[in-house]
């Protein structure tokens, strides 16, 4: 299977992660959030997944120490998105692109080239990226289509034929002749009763 080997010198031990702020419950929730985030991107390799979680939580802990009132879970989610945006920008050579467009294009390219399975240790790695992985990512980017142009459409009245005129004349006649209106209502009621009688027999 293709893929760079994990950097053994960079693999942190969970025992080394001891944030100075926040509770254990807070950091457990942050851990689960990052783990779910990686799984959503099909990062199922446990060794690489653990290494990335430790890296993200380490950077999150530094931010939380500067702002203890913030939620570690929220900071971890922001840090995950920030790292991924920077990584996609480098992989696709799209620095300075719109965050939303870069994130969507990067995710699609990652899934189209089956990156997590073919290069299990390359996701979010900043060095040691196989050239074929980078090329596969760039080839899988969805290119924007032609720019949309605004066309001018003039509304036209809907031609219903003689129906509006006939209906209008009927309503005006019923308004002028109360007796006619009452008769029409009784006829409609009689017709409805006749239909109900036929249906219930």
pLDDT score of 194 more than 60: yes
Q: Binning pLDDT at 50, 70 and 90, where does residue 63 land?
A: very high
Residue 59 has what pLDDT?
94
Residue 10 has what pLDDT?
46
Tell me: the pLDDT tens digits for 26-38? Answer: 999 999 999 999 9
**Interatomic CA distance for residues 89 and 106, integer angstroms:** 8
Residue 128 has what pLDDT?
77
The answer to whether position 76 is within a domain reads yes
The answer to whether position 3 is within a domain reads no
Residues 97 and 16 in one domain: yes
The answer to whether position 92 is within a domain reads yes
**Interatomic CA distance for residues 146 and 130, integer angstroms:** 32
**Interatomic CA distance for residues 138 and 20, integer angstroms:** 41
Residues 16 and 96 in one domain: yes
Residues 101 and 181 in one domain: no
Q: For the chain, how many structural domains are there in total?
A: 2
Other Cβ atoms closer than 10 A to 152? 4
Question: 178: domain range?
Answer: 164-200
Highest mean pLDDT pick, 100-104, 144-148, 149-153: 100-104
Tell if the pTM clears 0.75, that is, is over it.
no
pLDDT score of 76 more than 90: yes
Contact in structure between 175 and 181 (CB atoms under 8 Å)? yes
Contact in structure between 84 and 106 (CB atoms under 8 Å)? yes
Residues 34 and 114 in one domain: yes
Averaged over 74-85, what is the pLDDT?
A: 94
Rg (the chain; Cα; Å): 33
């Amino acid at each position: 299977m293709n893929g760079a080997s994990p950097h053994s010198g960079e693999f942190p031990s969970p025992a080394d992660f001891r944030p100075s702020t926040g509770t254990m419950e807070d950091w457990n929730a942050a851990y689960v959030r990052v783990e779910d985030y990686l799984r959503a991107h099909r990062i199922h390799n446990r060794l690489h997944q653990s290494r990335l979680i430790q890296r993200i939580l380490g950077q999150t802990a530094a931010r939380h120490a500067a702002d203890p009132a913030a939620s570690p879970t929220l900071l971890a989610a922001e840090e995950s998105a920030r790292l991924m945006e920077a990584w996609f920008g480098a992989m696709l050579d799209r620095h300075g692109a719109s965050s939303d467009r870069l994130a969507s294009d990067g995710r699609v390219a990652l899934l189209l080239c089956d990156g997590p399975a073919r290069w299990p240790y390359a996701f979010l790695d900043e060095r040691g990226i196989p050239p074929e992985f980078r090329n596969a990512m760039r080839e899988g980017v969805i290119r924007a289509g032609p720019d949309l142009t605004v066309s001018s459409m003039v509304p036209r009245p809907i031609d219903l034929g003689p129906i509006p005129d006939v209906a209008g004349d009927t309503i005006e006649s019923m308004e002028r002749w109360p007796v006619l209106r009452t008769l029409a209502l009784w006829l409609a009621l009689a017709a409805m009763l006749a239909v109900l009688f036929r249906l219930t027999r």
